[in-house]
Each structure stands twice: as structure tokens, then as C-alpha cells.
Amino acid sequence: MEQNSQIMQKIKIFNGEFHKIKFPLLDNFDSFEYKNYPIPAEIEDVPGIYFILGKDDDILYIGKALKLRNRLSAHLSPYSKKSSGSVSWIPISEIKKVSYLIIHRDILELFESFYFYFYKSKYNHGGYSYKNISPL
């Protein structure tokens, strides 16, 4: 019974704070032009949301990472093998730019699901998405 009370209290706090969250538009993210591997040195191993963009600034992929540098290196490396056996499941030739937002690790999934909801991407299939979130 007490556990339910604690959960309800957390939900009340979350509902009260949720409306205060401002989700930045993609135009306000930091970004870098992708020319070749490796990725720029200023990208750190911090939590963040990232968009991999194509030649016409179309969104190829939306992702989250606890260690942004490691995750982007894995996506953008021409040398890493993906589970499909191909060198990259996002063709390197399609990538023009990467935009990213550094955020606290506790809200990574919230931000990712928000961006999934408002932006469509070419290579996000299945997995975690806003459809998996139920209203409180």
C-alpha cells in the first residue's frame, strides 16, 4: 500500500513538472558536417540525443546515447561491423551532418520519444518509440 502511495506521489511531481520541459527544435541543436571518420574531437562522452541527417537535411536516424562520442563513432565508422554483417546499416554516402543535444541521462528516453513523435526518420525501425509510452 505504501509503495502505491510513493508511486502516486512521484506521478504527481512528474505531472507538475512535465509541462515545464521545453524541447529544443532541431535547428537549435549543436551539429557538425560529416566529411570523414573520425568524428570531431569536441564531441564528448556525455548523455545526449542525436540526429543523423542526409544530403537534403532529411532525418536518417534519431538516437540516444549515454556516451555520445562512443555511439556516434560506432554509427559513423566505416570499419565497424553491424549486426546485419554490412559495414554500416546507415550508408555513409547518405550522411551529411549530425546534430546533437547534450541532456541529463534521466530524461534521455523522454526526449527520444518526443523527437520520434514529431520527426520521422528513414532508418529507425521498431525498437523503442513513442508508441511504447502510455499516458499517466
Residue of 101, 99, 78 whose CA lies nearest to 90 = 78
Q: Hey, what's the cell of 45?
A: 562522452
Higher pLDDT: 134 or 111? It is: 111
pLDDT for 60 beyond 60? yes
Decide: pTM greater than 0.75.
Answer: no
Over range 78-107, report the average pLDDT.
76
Distance CA 62, CA 99 (A): 10
Which pLDDT does position 126 carry in this prediction?
56
Instruction: Kindly state which CATH superfamily the domain 22-132 is placed in.
Output: GIY-YIG endonuclease (3.40.1440.10)
